[in-house]
Amino acid sequence: MRIPGIVDVYQVGDEWVARSWPKVQNQPNSAAQLLWRKKFTDAKAIIHTFPPFYKRLWQAIECPPGKMWIDIALHCLLVAPGQFSQIPQGDQMKFVLYYSQTIPDGWMSQYCVWQNFNARMFLATGPGYNYFNGSKWADIMKWNDMGWICPNGKRPKKRWQLVYRGTTPDYVGTDSLYFGVWPNGQWVYRNFYANCPTGITWAKLNYWSAGADYEADYALQMPPLYFPVHTWPGSFTP
């Protein structure tokens, strides 16, 4: 039970008894506390500006026990706020990874990622991505258990680090990109995907090992965007 001015109350027989009264602070918050509070407030404000499609990608991430997507997003923003200077914009995206047994006219390989115009703009405003074979979270990412944190005066809590499952992405940067306009007016994205029978994933994660003055940590900048394989139907559809 909450009553203004009282921390909480409990019932003894037919009476309500206040457990304790709020204590007036003897001194104002320190400069370090005020700075941390501002960083936390700024990070939450940035999350509220996430465009719908980008936010849905965050909501779809797999989290370690006891964590939610917003906890991970806050952590990343607090650890590396500068990495979020480029937040991809827009909504109503459509991406499809097609496979053809033969190489259709105009393709560079048997695989082709088709995207509508909104998706093209989404990629253009984003931070750039790394590309991986596989179309599931477990194919490309994992959570490392870093043990317990035991702050003085607070209860222990688990510490996690997000890393790529492999040592390096299968494709890096924007090498071998080609764009074309098809009769239906949609954009097509092509890359030299040599062999990705289970699909591909685009993501952007930065993580680092512990150093002399800092702990191991991570900052997920672009949550995974998955592309399971679809059989080429013979034409692109909006």
Taking a C-beta distance cutoff of 8 angstroms, is the pair 198, 206 a contact? no
Q: Check pLDDT > 70 for residue 230.
A: yes
pLDDT score at 175: 42
Q: How far apart are CA 181 and CA 161, in angstroms?
A: 41
- Nearest 5°: the CA angle 223, 199, 67 is 30
Up-side HSE of residue 91: CA atoms within 13 Å toward CB?
6
Phi/psi at 28 (5° precision): -70, 165
* Pick from 176, 209, 180, 179: nearest CA to 193: 176
Q: Which of 55-59, 92-96, 135-139 has the lowest mean pLDDT?
A: 92-96
What's the pLDDT tens digit per position in 136-165? Answer: 999 999 999 998 888 777 778 889 999 999
What's the pLDDT tens digit per position in 98-129? Answer: 898 998 877 777 888 888 878 878 888 888 88
Q: What is the DSSP letter of 192?
A: -
Its sign, for the CA torsion 160, 164, 168, 171, is: negative
pLDDT score at 93: 85
219 sits in which H/E element: strand 217-227
